[in-house]
Structure 1
Amino acid sequence: MTITLYELVGVDAARPFSPHCWKVAFALAHKGLDFTTVPLPFTQIGAIEGGATKTVPLIRDGETLVGDSFAIALHLEEAYPDRPSLFGGEGGVALSRFIEKWANATLVPFVGASLLPEIHAALEEDDQAYFRQTREARFGGALEDVARGREERLEAFRNALVPLRAVVKRQPFLGGEGPLFADYIVAGVFQWARVISPFPFIAEDDPVADWFERCLELHDGLGRRVPAA
């Protein structure tokens, strides 16, 4: 049975950009599961599946609905134990939770703030109004003002990649010789940036850039099928 993934898009339905939806797409492909996607703008999410969620990703797997990217990964691991593991055991689940906390604390704040005007520009008109209202309330200022100065803050962001850089300089993936969900958590953030903006979050000569290129090639080039901004 084909799994349905509800994912976030802007004007171009072929360019999903949510980091959390990308985590799930990578996870489904990792498991070798057939899935179809339902692209949705922000303002239509609340109407899907009888109002089952206010956010995506959301998957329908037969009679089961699962939201939240980590919960979806856990569901896939439990429901399809005969497929390649996303975690490599219970220890991998715990480590992936750490990676998610690290990414949300270290990567997402800078990337998210930096992308605000470009995300807004990629949305349909109704979504633009929703996005500006909600994000300006969240960040406490105009989208353009929040993003301003990202060039000056870029060096500090790149310095914060030291733990990731040290690991992927020694081995192909965070998961070792092959990727695990931990890789998809971080790759989802950089794919978010790649799809929305040409801003150079990663230096070209950084081992992190090489690791991300390897992630884009995974699963028959799933990530690369969406061209960079």
Structure 2
Amino acid sequence: MTITLYDLAGAQDDHRFSPYCWRIKMALAHKGLAYEALPWRFTEKERIAASGQGSVPVIEDAGRHLHDSWEIAAYLDEAYPEAPALFPGEGARSASLFLKFWTERVLHPLLMRLILTDVHGGLHEKDKDYFRTSREKMLKTSLEAVCEDRDTHLANLGKGLAPLRATLEAQAFLGGEAPTFADYIVFGAFQWARCSSSFEVLPSEDAVKAWRQRLLEMHGGLAANAVRPAA
């Protein structure tokens, strides 16, 4: 049975940019599971009402609705133990939990200051007011103010990536010799930036960029072939 994934889309149905949805698309590909990714937009909350909340990713599998990328990944390992594990070995899930919180509380805010106005620009018209209003209420300032002084924000990102860069200079993936869900958590953030903005957030000679490229090319180029904004 094919899994259904509700996947955040922009103005175009095939423009998919959510960092959390990218985690799950990479996880499903990692496990070799068939799925259909349906375009979903911020103002279409009634379409995922069966999940009991209003954000994606949401998957429907064998009559069950699950949400939250972390919970979905755990479910996929439990429901499909014969497929390659997302959390292989003792301690993998605990280590990945640290990277989840680091990504959401440190990396996402650093990237947001570089791409937030571009994210807004790529949305479907029916989502733009919702996105601006909700984000500006949360941030207590305008989207444009968040993204002022891009050079400073880019330098801050470079400094913030130092531990990640050092790790990826020592090994190919955060999971070691092969990617695990830990990699997909962090990769989702960079794919969010890559699919939302033509601005390159990583320098050309960088271990993080080389790692991102390895993941872009995995799973038949799933992420590399994603729709991106015009340069």
**Does the alignment reach a TM-score above 0.5?**
yes
**Segment of structure 1 superposing worse, 98-107 or 181-190:** 98-107
Cα distance in 2 for residues equivalent to 1:123 and 1:140: 21
1:138 Cα deviation after fit: 0.8
Contact 2:3–2:59 (8 Å) recurs in 1: yes
Residues 132-143 of structure 1 correspond to what in structure 2 (within 5 A)? Answer: 132-143=132-143
Shift of 1:51: 6.4
Query: 1:177 and 1:51 mapped to 2: Cα distance?
Result: 36
Question: Quick one: distance in 1 between partners of 2:43 and 2:28?
Answer: 25
Superposition TM-score, scaled by structure 1 size? 0.96
Q: Matches of 2:62 and 2:101 in 1, distance apart?
A: 30
Contact 1:7 1:39 (8 Å CA) reproduced: yes
- 2:226 matches 1:206: no
Query: Quick one: distance in 2 between partners of 1:55 and 1:42?
Result: 7
Instruction: Confirm whether residue 185 of structure 1 aligns to residue 185 of structure 2.
Output: yes
Q: How many Å separate the matches in 2 of 1:132 and 1:156? A: 24
The separation in 1 between residues aligned to 2:90 and 2:51, in whole angstroms, is: 33
Give aligned-pair identity as a percent: 43
Q: Which one-letter code corresponds to 1:81 in the other structure?
A: P
Q: Hey, what's the Cα distance between the residues in 2 that align with 1:28 and 1:227?
A: 19
CA distance in structure 1 between the partners assigned to 2:39 and 2:140 by the alignment? 29
Change (3 A) 1:73 1:208: same
- With 179-188 and 192-201 compared, the bigger mean Cα shift is at 192-201
Paired residue type of 1:88: P
Shift in Å, 1:101: 1.0
CA contact (8 A) 2:7 2:16 kept: yes
The whole-number CA distance in structure 1 between the counterparts of 2:214 and 2:179 is 10
1:150-197 alpha-carbon deviations (Å, 9 max, x no partner) = 221211211111111111112211111110000000000000000011
RMSD (Å), alpha carbons: 1.3
Amino acid at match of 1:71: E
- In structure 1, what is the equivalent of residue 61 of structure 2? 61
Structure 2's unaligned 5+ residue stretches are none
Measured in 1, the distance between the counterparts of 2:18 and 2:206 equals 24
Equivalences for residues 9-88 of structure 1 within 5 A: 9-50=9-50, 52-88=52-88
Q: Which moved more, 1:36-45 or 1:51-60?
A: 51-60
TM-score scaled by length of structure 2: 0.95
188-197 or 109-118, which deviates more: 109-118
1:53, distance to aligned residue in structure 2 (A): 2.4
Aligned AA (1:75)? Y
SS in 2 for 1:211: helix
CA deviations on 1:36-95 (whole Å, 9 max, x unpaired) are 011011101333354632000000011111100000000000001111010113400000
Specify the SS of the correspondent of 1:141.
Answer: coil
Listed as ranges, the matches of 1:103-118 within 5 Å are: 103-118=103-118
Partner Cα separation in structure 2 for residue 183 and residue 159 of structure 1 = 20
- The separation in 1 between residues aligned to 2:174 and 2:133, in whole angstroms, is 37
Equivalent residues of 2:16, 2:227 under 8 A apart? no
Residue 95 of structure 2 is matched in structure 1 by 95
Q: What is the Cα deviation at residue 98 of structure 1?
A: 0.5
